[in-house]
């Protein structure tokens, strides 16, 4: 690697780190608002509206977004209380041990395909008299090396080859911070470290409620970490790799992991929600039983780190879910060389697209998928009640674990059958995968259209009468309501 390529690699590495960290932090902060706003919509409440920005006689509430900024500012000024009998070193270290693994995880998550820096743009010359011309030192030359007068090179944005992605060590840039060959194993190693911070926080606080919350967190995370890992074993068997970027490329050429591993998708999603300790799996923080669980004694920015790391875990788990099961950066029928609609061995439609535009579309698609999964997790949080702790453990060990083992067995049998299948059967599987890509594209378009229509359609409120008291109030003309004021 020459000095120029090394400088480009370092620059892109800094850009990738900045992009991923800013995205995780920004979406984590936004999810605190989403929780409040979405819960209000589900429960038919007004939602956050107290934080106000005033300019003269005008007030701006920005749909409650100012609450997130206000909460962050307040945490900086809150008292940093430490219990008298707490282990001060471990008490102060625990919040960072909880936050660090979440930030480290994003290093191996790919958010786009490889960028060939030298193929983004180039100079080209149109041939005179049908003879091809080349560019040499900014001038157009013919086959004999002579400069052609009156012909100037123009800058073009070419497409690249669909297959044969060049090595990431010779110039092209992988859109992931650390392109490790053992990416998913690194994820397992780092994800399991979160329990250490929770356990230390509960033990060092010298509080029985904190200790009980820490024990619950440790038991819960160990239980669901097993299912989390085993649910991905079936996916690794299908993809034939442990590299996350190669998993995404497999899905782009075949079909999304959701279609080949539907059971693993459901198991992984349930285990990921439990790993994030979110409702209905928020037993380590159950306020009705343990005040605030393992971080009961924390205040100020130490509490803020615990609180914020939970939302960041939602983002990173959504990234992993999108990468393994929802195609990562892939868009149906969009390949590195352009758009190509295929059905089996027949190509229905094909057009080349510039490499730079394909890359931009893929990166935007990845982050859009992550946002959708994050919102869906918030929807789950406000739709389900909390489990009892015994129900939580039974669900993990007696249901999810056996299902994950059964999924591995069935996946192994299917892989063996597919490898030994005839050419006609494999061609039929290829057609089925292409059809799944088409169905995915139609579903996405339908959901986008429905969402736009729903946002543009005025809401109609109708009373929902439940119970005798509500029926009597409605019969007498209803109750008087006034809008909450700041």
Rounded Cα distance between 328 and 18, Å, is 20
pLDDT value of position 69: 79
Whether residue 480 is predicted with pLDDT greater than 70 in this model: the reply is: no
**Cβ distance 270 to 399 under 8 Å?**
no
| Entry field: residues in the chain | 486
Whether residue 30 is predicted with pLDDT greater than 80 in this model: the reply is: yes
pLDDT value of position 276: 79
Whether residue 486 is predicted with pLDDT greater than 50 in this model: the reply is: no
Please give the residue that has the higher pLDDT: either 230 or 429: 230
Please give the residue that has the higher pLDDT: either 474 or 266: 266
Query: If you write DSSP's letter for every residue of 348-392 in order, what string do you get?
Result: EEEEE--HHHHHHHHHHHHHHHHHHHHHHHHHHHTTSPPPPHHHH
Average pLDDT on 295-318 reads 84
pLDDT value of position 157: 63
Rounded Cα distance between 54 and 104, Å, is 40
Whether residue 127 is predicted with pLDDT greater than 80 in this model: the reply is: no
Q: Over the stretch 341-358, which tens digit does the pLDDT of each residue have?
A: 777 777 777 787 787 888
The DSSP element (H or E) to which 185 belongs, if any, is helix 183-191
- Low-confidence winner among 99-103, 212-216, 288-292 (lowest mean pLDDT): 288-292
Whether residue 481 is predicted with pLDDT greater than 60 in this model: the reply is: no
Percent of the chain with pLDDT strictly greater than 70: 82
Average pLDDT on 27-35 reads 86
pLDDT value of position 370: 92
- Low-confidence winner among 172-181, 205-214, 270-279, 453-462 (lowest mean pLDDT): 453-462
Q: Over the stretch 355-367, which tens digit does the pLDDT of each residue have?
A: 788 888 889 999 9
**Cβ distance 113 to 359 under 8 Å?**
yes
pLDDT value of position 167: 41
pLDDT value of position 136: 64
pLDDT value of position 322: 92
pLDDT value of position 366: 92
- Low-confidence winner among 143-147, 338-342, 408-412, 449-453 (lowest mean pLDDT): 143-147
Average pLDDT on 5-23 reads 82
Rounded Cα distance between 277 and 243, Å, is 27
Q: What is the mean pLDDT of the chain?
A: 79
The DSSP element (H or E) to which 141 belongs, if any, is strand 139-141
Average pLDDT on 128-155 reads 65
Most confident of 18-22, 32-36, 161-165, 444-448: 18-22
Q: Over the stretch 396-428, which tens digit does the pLDDT of each residue have?
A: 888 888 999 999 999 888 888 887 777 777 777
Please give the residue that has the higher pLDDT: either 287 or 360: 360
> Which residues have C-beta within 8 Å of that of residue 255, sequence separation ≥ 6?
432, 433, 434, 436, 437, 440
pLDDT value of position 274: 83
Q: Over the stretch 462-475, which tens digit does the pLDDT of each residue have?
A: 656 566 666 666 66
Confidence of residue 170 (pLDDT cuts 50, 70, 90): very low
Rounded Cα distance between 251 and 70, Å, is 42
**Cβ distance 199 to 217 under 8 Å?**
yes
């Amino acid at each position: 690697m020459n000095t120029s390529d090394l400088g480009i690699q370092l620059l892109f590495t800094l850009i990738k780190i900045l992009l991923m960290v800013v995205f995780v932090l920004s979406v984590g902060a936004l999810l605190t608002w989403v929780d409040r706003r979405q819960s209000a919509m589900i429960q038919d409440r007004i939602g956050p509206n107290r934080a106000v920005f005033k300019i003269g006689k005008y007030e701006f509430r920005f749909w409650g977004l100012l609450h997130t900024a206000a909460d962050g500012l307040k945490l900086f000024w809150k008292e940093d209380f430490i219990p008298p009998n707490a282990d001060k070193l471990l008490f102060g270290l625990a919040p960072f041990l909880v936050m660090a693994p979440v930030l480290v995880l994003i290093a191996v998550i790919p958010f786009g395909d490889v960028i060939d820096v030298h193929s983004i743009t180039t100079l080209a010359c149109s041939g005179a008299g049908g003879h091809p011309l080349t560019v040499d030192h900014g001038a157009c030359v013919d086959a004999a090396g002579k400069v052609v007068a009156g012909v100037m090179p123009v800058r073009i944005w070419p497409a690249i080859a669909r297959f044969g992605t060049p090595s990431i060590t010779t110039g092209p840039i992988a859109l992931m911070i650390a392109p490790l060959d053992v990416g998913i194993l690194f994820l397992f190693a780092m994800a399991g470290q979160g329990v250490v911070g929770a356990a230390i926080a509960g033990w060092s606080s010298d509080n029985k409620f904190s200790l009980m919350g820490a024990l619950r967190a440790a038991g819960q995370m160990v239980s669901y970490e097993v299912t989390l890992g085993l649910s991905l074993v079936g996916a690794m068997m299908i993809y034939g790799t442990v590299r996350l970027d190669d998993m995404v490329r497999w899905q782009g050429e075949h079909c999304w992991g959701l279609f080949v591993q539907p059971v693993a998708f459901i198991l992984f999603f349930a285990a990921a929600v439990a790993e994030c300790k979110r409702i209905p799996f928020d037993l380590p923080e159950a306020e009705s039983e343990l005040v605030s669980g393992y971080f009961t004694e924390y205040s100020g920015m130490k509490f803020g780190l615990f609180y914020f790391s939970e939302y960041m875990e939602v983002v990173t788990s959504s990234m992993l879910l999108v990468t393994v099961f929802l195609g990562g950066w892939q868009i149906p029928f969009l390949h590195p060389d352009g758009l190509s609609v295929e059905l089996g061995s027949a190509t229905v439609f094909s057009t080349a697209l510039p490499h730079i535009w394909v890359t931009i579309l893929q990166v935007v698609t990845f982050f859009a998928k992550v946002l959708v999964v994050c919102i869906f997790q918030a929807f789950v949080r406000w739709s389900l009640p909390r489990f009892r702790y015994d129900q939580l453990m039974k669900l993990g060990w007696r249901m999810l674990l056996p299902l994950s083992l059964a999924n591995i067995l069935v996946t192994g049998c299917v892989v063996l059958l597919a490898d030994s299948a005839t050419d006609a059967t494999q061609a039929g599987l290829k057609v089925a995968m292409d059809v799944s890509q088409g169905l995915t594209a139609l579903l996405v378009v339908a959901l986008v259209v429905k969402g736009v229509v729903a946002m543009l359609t005025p809401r109609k409120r109708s009373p929902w009468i439940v119970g005798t008291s509500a029926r009597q109030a409605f019969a007498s003309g209803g109750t008087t309501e006034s809008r909450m004021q700041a």
